[in-house]
Amino acid sequence: MDETLKIINGMVKKGVIGGYAIGGGMAADYYGEPTLTYDLDLFVYFASDADSCELISMSPIYKYLLDLGYKAEAEGFLIEGILVQFLPPYNDLIREALDYAKSVMYNDTRTRIFSLEYVLAIMLQTGRPKDKIRLSNLHEIMKDPNTKTKPDYDKLGKILTDHGLKDKWDEFIEENTK
């Protein structure tokens, strides 16, 4: 994965993408126990992003990676043995998560990942069965006194309120403390 991240960091350096952060299942795994996933979801600022209403173009990413000899596969690219999906920040919550992603190290390689508070809020908002399971697993781990997975509850509360998820969170907590 080091090599994959180095290629992606190179894309940022060369301006192919404006920046990125790891989200999806891998971000949940970063804070919780490892669970099965086959793709590395990257939320990216596209080169033409800004706040324009332009259609997002994936072509610079395709061109750059194809030129490097990587293959497009399924909905992503196979980069150094890992299937990477490049996703746009498709709503305000994701955009904010991308803006406030934290910088972490993977061995010797620097990368960015959604912070725990945003991972929780996104799973709650998305609400697919697999997100509900991941959220419930993370919540169990967060409650344990020996865990390193501790959200900043003030920050989480603000995110939930700002994005209209407070009631949904309260419902989730009620269901998961029975």
Task: Provide the binding-site residues for another protein, judged by CB under 8 A.
Answer: 1-2, 29-39, 73, 78, 80-83, 104-107, 137, 140-141, 144, 146-149
User: Which CB sits closer to another protein, 109 or 125?
Assistant: 109
User: Which CB sits closer to another protein, 76 or 89?
Assistant: 76
The distance of closest approach from Cβ of residue 162 to another protein in the complex, given in angstroms and rounded to an integer, is 27
Place of tokens 């920040």: 89
User: Which CB sits closer to another protein, 49 or 80?
Assistant: 80
Place of tokens 């299942």: 25
What's the CA gap between 97 and 117, in Å, rounded?
9
The distance of closest approach from Cβ of residue 150 to another protein in the complex, given in angstroms and rounded to an integer, is 11
Which SS3 state, helix, strand or coil, does residue 21 take? strand
The distance of closest approach from Cβ of residue 38 to another protein in the complex, given in angstroms and rounded to an integer, is 3
What's the CA gap between 6 and 58, in Å, rounded?
20
The distance of closest approach from Cβ of residue 142 to another protein in the complex, given in angstroms and rounded to an integer, is 9
Kind and range of the H or E element at 44? strand 39-46
